[in-house]
Amino acid sequence: MPTHRFGTYLSSGKNKYGASKVVFKGISFDSRYERDRYIYLCHLQKQGKISGLRLQVGFRIIKKVIKLIPVQLKTKVRYDQRVVEKEARYHCDFLYKEDGKIIVEEFKSVMTAELPDYVLRRKLMVNKIYDHNERPNRTQWVFREVIYDKKKTTITDK
C-alpha cells in the first residue's frame, strides 16, 4: 500500500469523483485535501481557537414517514405502524465549536459542490440550522462550506 508523510492511500483506488481515499492516524478521509483540512483543524484546536472537533456527525434532515394500518381483531381494531419512507440523514465532514458557536463544516471540491444531490442536502441542512437558530436560548449553529480548488480555497458561512 503506498504511503505518504501524512497517511496511507487506500488500495481501492479512486472514488467516483477522482479523489483517492486516504487513511491518517486510523481515520479514513475521502481525499488528501479533506485530510489536510483535518490536520489544519487539529492545529487550531491545539492553539485553543476551536474545541470539540468531531468527524462525520450525523443529523436527521427528513423524518421517517409512518402510516397506521388497521388490523381487525376479534373484538377490536389494532393499528400497526408501517414505515412508508425511511428518514434521511446528513453527515457533515467536521463539527466543532468556535467563538461560542457550533460550526457544521462541509469540505467539497468545486465539482462535487455543484452536484444536484449535494446542493439539495446542503439546502435541507441549512434549513435545519436556521430552524434551530430561531429558537431562543440555543447555541447558534453555523453551516460552513469549504470549497477547495487546486489554486484556492473558498470558505462560506451560511
Per-residue pLDDT tens over the stretch 75-95: 999 999 999 999 999 999 999
Inter-residue contact 158 to 145 (CB < 8 Å): yes
Kindly state the DSSP code that residue 55 receives in the 8-state scheme: E
Domain extent, residue 127, equals 3-157
pTM: 0.78
Residue 10 has pLDDT above 70, yes or no: no
Task: Identify the pLDDT of residue 49.
Answer: 95
β-pair type (51-62, 141-148): unpaired
Task: State pLDDT tens for residues 59-79.
Answer: 999 999 999 999 999 899 999
DSSP H or E segment with residue 119: helix 116-134
* C-alpha closest to that of 56 among 124, 125, 106, 19: 106
Q: In whole angstroms, what is the distance from residue 125 CA to residue 14 CA? A: 27
- Dihedral of CA atoms 152, 149, 129, 22 in degrees, nearest 10, equals -120
Q: Identify how many contiguous H helices and E strands the chain contains and give both numbers.
A: 3, 11
**What is the overall mean pLDDT for the chain?**
87
Which CATH number do you get for residue 122? 3.40.1350
Enter the C-alpha cell of residue 119: 446542493
- Dihedral of CA atoms 122, 128, 134, 137 in degrees, nearest 10, equals -110
Q: How many domains does the chain have?
A: 1
Task: State pLDDT tens for residues 137-146.
Answer: 889 999 999 9
Identify the three-state secondary structure at position 94: strand
